[in-house]
Chains A and B, each alone.
Chain A
Amino acid sequence: MANTVNIKIDGIDVSVEAGKTVLDAAKKLNIHIPTLCYHEDLCVAGNCRVCVVEQEGVNNLVASCAIPAQKGMVIHTNSHKVRNARRHVVELLLSEHNADCTKCYKNTKCELQDLASEMVINEHMFMDLVPDKNYTTDKQSPSIIKDDSKCIRCQRCVRTCHDLQHVSALGVAYKGDHMKISTFFEHPMYEVVCTNCGQCVNRCPTGALIEKNYLDEVWDAIYDEDKHVIVQTAPATRIALGEDLGMESGSIVTGKMAASLRRLGFDSVLDTDFSADLTIMEEGTELLTRLKKALVDKDTSVKLPMFTSCSPGWVKFLEHTYPDYLDNLSTCKSPQQMFGALAKTYYAEKKGLDPDKIVCVSIMPCTAKKFEANRPEMRDSGYQDVDMGLTTRELAVMIKQAGIDFQELPDEKFDSLMGESSGAAVIFGATGGVMEAALRTAYEIVTGREVPFKNLNITAVRGMEGVREANIKLENVLPAWSFLEGVELKTAVAHGLTNAHQIMEAIHKGEANYHFVEVMGCPGGCIGGGGQPIPTTPEIRRKRAEAIYREDEGMAVRKSHENPEVQQIYREFLGEPLSDKSHWLLHTHYVKRKRV
């Protein structure tokens, strides 16, 4: 094997692929080397220096995350010199750090704290630098809190926002002792290009970037006898929540989640999956309508490709970066917001509830959903449609706070009327899922037949490739859709905003010609959302996606238009997709935003 390198770590021989680092090699041997700036999703920075190891024949220590394994290297990961240096590095970080752990949201979930604990740091070796610093905390965003006094300057957030999201709302500013993580001119996160995706939050090792939590507000609502608190849970929460409650990644906890929500005291335990199915009905119809206008009526004001609009991070990205393409966005609200608008109208009406007394809480894999719920456009019910958006992580906190033994809970079902779901809705949680769900329905509407894929699984749009394309030829269509006869429906899927940017550039330059494009703001789609359990890594995303598809396969109903509650709401309330009532409650518009 020419492409492997043999080295020795702590006396053990190991061979790794050329190009792999010493850290990779140590992992292979199950030798744990502490890291802080390193993250599997990101390019290597090599700046925290906590991963240093000793290389025989080299005077200085080397950063194991950054140094490629080279033939014949002899490495010591736990020598006196190494331990000394690591200890110093952690002590130095702590000396710059407002280590107020008991008042910190990341208490017991913090990589810096873990290291300090591992090193048994009782007394600080160095002087406290915090009083000399003018640390500030930015709490203005409805999604994210940035507390500079907790920042260890590992730049994971900066690399996340740049490498994965192509947003770069955060950068490194100044140098030397003044170096800090900053937005443009230190403006509040709320006022800059930040999409609220929370990917940085998911990767921040400390409490410097955290979601804004609404735990107290939700508890208050639950305890308020006067309020009817409705909770909805997004597709991707049910395959990730378990991770924060001691379960393996990839565990499906739909039933336990419903049970726990009931025990927490929510009055109606409902499912965003229901409105995901509804989204398919509306968005599928919108697509077909757009196609008709474009192909038959030759209406040039109709914009194609149509973009999905269920990811609020993606929507805000487009509003900032490609404001000229807002008409390409489907006018459909996201499932969370459709749900909220219906909770305070349809659900209230059917259940005889006073909408004024309804509090609508959502459990989301996402921090951008908090922002979305607060958008001024999202008040069509006459109230704020969704009152509080919690992340998967926050729900796990509530479950722990309530002393619920999650793993031992029985499986329970969601309540009815807006609790029924199809497999198509579940797969919304993974990149490509909306596309697959939409195709399952749209194809059938147009041709009267099921999509021509084994078990309805459209594997071409699945997977973790950054941009994927799938074309489906429409043949033998029903008479009403004859204009689509022979048309090859061109679709594409992108996840993570860097890939979204790539696809947008291709579209903008006229290099790509699609009818329908699904974009999810987060890598992997919602399963890799910014509000999901930490850590989220490529491996964990893969396991969550597998779980999602397993859940889909196990469902009785696999297609959105076959969801009985969806059929019921059209029969009894909405009429048909794109009806006036749907337009009023389920559709929205977008705003152009500045690019700073």
Chain B
Amino acid sequence: MPDKKLKRVDIIFNEDCNCNEVLTNSLKKSKDEILKEILDSGLRGRGGAGFPTGLKWKFASQEAEKEKYVVCNADEGEPGTFKDREILTRVPLKVFGGMAICAKVIGAKQGYVYLRGEYQFLKADLEKSLEEFHAVLKDIGFDFQIKITMGAGAYICGEESALFESMEGNRGEPRNKPPYPTVSGFRNKPTVINNVETLVDSFMICRIGSQKFMELGTTDSRGSKLFSISGDTPIAGIYELELGMALEDFVEEFGDGDTKAVQVGGASGFCVPRKKFKETIIGFEGVPTGGSMMLFNSSRSMYNVLKNYVEFFEEESCGQCTPCRVGCQQLKKGIEAIKKGEKSASYLKTLQKLAETMKVSSKCGLGQSVANSFSSIVDNFKEEMIY
């Protein structure tokens, strides 16, 4: 049972933070000092996979190669996520600051923000903030430049290796791993790629200290994070909450009184039905999320929800590997056929097994995570799938 209660936090957007000062002070520290702070904080990536950020930076810093890159993943394409947009709108300097600090640790001179095409409208303002930021760096005498590269409408480009392919001017097809980005990323050089929020967290850890950050959250999920809350809720929006709360508390706060299920982590996350709200912890020890929380009340058909997700994956799969490309088409066609009565209910089992195969044999995280929503929705709302 979770011992954390729902608690609002104000770190990311915290306004009495003089970004230039934090940046100046942080860059004065040695790279080992910074690295230690990040490692100690227990910060894990906010983009979904939750890899320990300090370790990632450490790996990249250990690479002998001179040419290295820092990339900010601002592709935010997961359905139900919109917090990175808000961060980039309100506190871009913190994002850039996080990148500069990372650059200092790993020894990079060039950074990139990969901004999804849907956020084109943000670009002009970001460029303006960048000017200011570059000027500060110049004053400090720190040699680091950031460029903004635009995506063009492809969810898969949020996957790190696909993102590098896209930056290199190719189709966004994920690469084989290993090698991992810290060894061979953008231009096949050691690269740290972090989510927008992860970079802000890193920046703020440098300001408030790892201790303050660590005190929040649980052993597995340190700190707080931004939640993008949408669906059947009277107060949809972005909230920073301490990690480790029970879903029940969350629903209490944000639900409309009739919540039947919450999709935690977007289309590639898990669907938690009402009966499991109590036992479900939001965090890496329970159900992790990149921030997307979609609430559904009892008026909603979970069949429609699932179909919408599967259609999303069918279209957004890069299409290169068999389990994902064909699997998504089969899942969609299959649930439609069952719903129409063209296939018997037992075909759901076949589809469940297929989803399992997609999980274990797809080439990248997209195909591997289709089973998350598929199985959790089918398992918990079987009747809705059939009748």
A–B contact, 8 Å CB criterion (strictly below): yes
Residue of B nearest to A127 (CB): B333
**A88:B354 contact, CB within 8 angstroms:** yes
Minimum C-beta distance from B4 to chain A (A): 28
Instruction: Point out the residues of chain A lying under 8 angstroms from B330, CB to CB.
Output: 92, 95, 126-127, 129
Closest to A92 in B: B326
* Cβ contacts under 8 Å, B362 to chain A: 49
Contact across chains for A92 and B322 when beta carbons are under 8 A apart:
yes
B327-351 residues at the A interface, CB under 8 angstroms: 327-330, 333-334, 337, 343, 350
A-chain residues with CB within 8 Å of residue B173 when the two chains form the complex: 172
- Chain B, Cβ-Cβ closest to A152: B322
Q: How many A-B residue pairs have CB under 8 A?
A: 118
Question: What is the CB-to-nearest-CB distance from A445 to chain B, in angstroms, rounded to a whole number?
Answer: 51
In the complex, which of the residues B316, B327, B334, B368 has the most CB atoms of chain A within 10 Å of its own CB atom?
B327
Interface: A61 (CB within 8 A): yes
Q: Which of A68, A81, A127, A174: most chain B Cβ within 10 A?
A: A127
| A116 beta carbon closer than 8 Å to chain B | no
Q: Mark B293-325, 1 if CB is under 8 A from A, else 0.
A: 000000000000000000000111111111101
Partner among A67, A84, A95, A176 whose Cβ is within 8 Å of the Cβ of B357: A84
User: Beyond A48-B322, A60-B360, is A176–B317 a contact (Cβ under 8 Å)?
Assistant: yes
Contact between B319 and A176 (Cβ–Cβ < 8 Å)? yes
Chain A residues whose C-beta falls within 8 Å of the C-beta of B156 in the assembled complex: 175
Cα(A55)–Cα(B278), bound, Å: 36
Is A63 an interface residue when CB atoms closer than 8 A count as contact?
Answer: yes
Given A89-B323, A178-B319, A179-B318, check contact A172 B359 (CB 8 Å).
no
Tell me whether A129 and B176 are in contact (CB under 8 A).
Answer: no
- Report yes or no: B318 in contact with A175, Cβ–Cβ below 8 A: yes
Q: A92-B323, A176-B314, A176-B318 are in contact. Are A81 and B178 (CB under 8 A)?
A: no
Q: Nearest Cβ in chain B — how far from A81, in angstroms?
A: 7
- Of the residues B314, B315, B337, B357, contact of A85 by C-beta under 8 Å: B357
Interfacial chain A residues near B275, Cβ < 8 Å: none
A156-175 interface code vs B (CB 8 A; 1 in, 0 out): 00000000000000001011
- Does A122 sit within 8 A of B, measured CB to CB? no
Main secondary structure of the interface of A (DSSP, over half): loop
Cβ of B89 under 8 Å from chain A: no
Is the C-beta of A30 less than 8 angstroms from some C-beta in chain B? Answer: no
Q: CA–CA, A176 to B327, complex, Å?
A: 11
A50 within 8 A of B: yes
CB proximity of B94 to chain A, nearest CB, Å: 33
As a 0/1 sequence over residues 170 to 188 of chain B, the CB contacts with chain A under 8 angstroms (1 = contact) are: 0111001010000000000
The residues of A that contact B333 with a CB separation of less than 8 Å are 127, 129, 132
Instruction: Decide: B316 and A177 in contact? CB cutoff 8 A.
Output: no
The A231-249 residues at the B interface (CB cut-off 8 A) are none
Contacts A52-B361, A95-B330; A172 near B325 (Cβ below 8 A): no
Expressed in whole angstroms, the Cα–Cα distance for A84 and B357 within the complex equals 8
Residues of B within 8 A of A177 (CB): 314-315, 317, 319, 325, 328-329
Cβ of B154 < 8 Å from any Cβ of A?
Answer: yes
Contact with A along B74-97 (1 / 0, CB 8 A): 000000000000000000000000
For residue B363, CB closer than 8 A to chain A, the reply is: yes
A200→B327 CA distance, assembly (Å): 27
Verify A95–B326 contact, CB threshold 8 A.
yes
Instruction: Compute how far the CA of A45 lies from the CA of B178 in the bound complex, rounded to whole angstroms.
Output: 13
CB nearest to B318 among chain A residues: A175
Among candidates B176, B321, B328, B361, residue contacting A61 with C-beta atoms closer than 8 Å? B361
Q: Which residues of A contact B147 (CB under 8 A)?
A: none
* B-side contacts of A47, CB under 8 Å: 320-322, 363
Question: With an 8 A cutoff between CB atoms, is A558 at the interface?
Answer: no
Is A153 in contact with chain B by the CB < 8 A criterion? yes
Interface residues on A, range: 35 or more
CB distance from A188 to the nearest CB of B (A): 23
- Taking CB atoms, residues of chain B closer than 8 Å to A92 are 322-323, 326-327, 330, 354
Contact check, B328 vs A60: say whether CB atoms are below 8 A apart.
no
- 0/1 string, B345-387, CB within 8 A of A gives 1: 0000010011001011111000010000000000000000000
Given A47-B363, A177-B325, also A63-B176 (CB < 8 A): yes
Q: Contact size class for B?
A: 35 or more
Q: Which residues of A contact B368 (CB under 8 A)?
A: 60
In the complex, A178→B323 CA distance in Å?
15
Distance in angstroms between the alpha carbons of A67 and B329 in the assembled complex: 27
Query: Is the Cβ of B360 less than 8 Å from the Cβ of A81?
Result: yes
CA distance A522 to B54 in the complex (A): 50
Given A84-B353, A84-B357, CB of A49 within 8 Å of CB of B171: no
B321 and chain A: residue at smallest CB distance: A47
Residues on A with beta carbons closer than 8 Å to the beta carbon of B363: 46-47, 49, 63
* Interface members, chain A 53-111 (any B CB < 8 Å): 59-61, 63, 66-68, 81, 84-85, 88-89, 92-93, 95-96
| Complex contacts, B353 vs chain A, CB 8 Å | 84, 88
Q: Per-residue 0/1 for A122-143: is the Cβ within 8 Å of any B Cβ (1 yes, 0 no)? A: 0001110100100000000000
Contact with B along A28-58 (1 / 0, CB 8 A): 0000000000000000111111101000000
How far does the alpha carbon of A13 sit from the alpha carbon of B173 in the complex, in Å?
Answer: 35
Are A60 and B361 in contact, with the CB atoms below 8 A?
Answer: yes
Q: Is the CB of A49 within 8 A of B329?
A: no
Whether A196 is near chain B, meaning CB under 8 Å from some CB there, is no
Q: How far is the CA of A93 from the CA of B326 in the complex (A)?
A: 7
Neighbouring B residues of A88 by C-beta, 8 Å: 323, 327, 353-354, 357, 361
Contact present for A129 and B361 (CB under 8 Å): no
- Set B154, B319, B321, B350: member contacting A49, Cβ < 8 A: B321
- In the bound complex, CA of A179 to CA of B315 (Å): 10
CB distance from B362 to the nearest CB of A (A): 7
- Closest residue on chain A to residue B334 by CB atoms: A127
Contacts of A67 in B (CB 8 A): 176, 178
Interface residues of B in 235-292 (CB under 8 A from A): none
Interface hub of A44, A48, A68, A92 (most chain B Cβ within 10 A)? A92
Chain A CB within 10 Å — which of B323, B327, B337 has the most? B323
Q: Is A498 close to B, CB under 8 A? A: no
Is B320 within 8 A of A179, CB to CB?
Answer: yes
Report yes or no: A176 in contact with B323, Cβ–Cβ below 8 A: no
* Chain A hits for B317, CB < 8 A: 175-177
Name the 6 nearest CB pairs between A and B, nearest first: A179-B319, A92-B326, A66-B176, A88-B357, A85-B361, A47-B320
19 A/B residue pairs, CB under 8 Å, sorted by A: A46-B176, A46-B321, A47-B321, A48-B322, A52-B360, A52-B361, A60-B360, A88-B323, A88-B354, A89-B357, A92-B322, A92-B327, A126-B330, A126-B334, A126-B354, A153-B319, A174-B319, A175-B319, A176-B314
Residues of B bordering A, CB below 8 Å = 154, 156, 171-173, 176, 178, 314-323, 325-330, 333-334, 337, 343, 350, 353-354, 357, 359-363, 368
Using a CB–CB distance below 8 Å, which chain A residues touch chain B?
A: 44-50, 52, 59-61, 63, 66-68, 81, 84-85, 88-89, 92-93, 95-96, 125-127, 129, 132, 152-153, 155, 172, 174-179
Q: Assuming A60-B360, A67-B178, A127-B337, what are 7 further A-B pairs, CB within 8 angstroms?
A: A49-B321, A60-B361, A92-B323, A93-B322, A129-B333, A175-B317, A176-B318
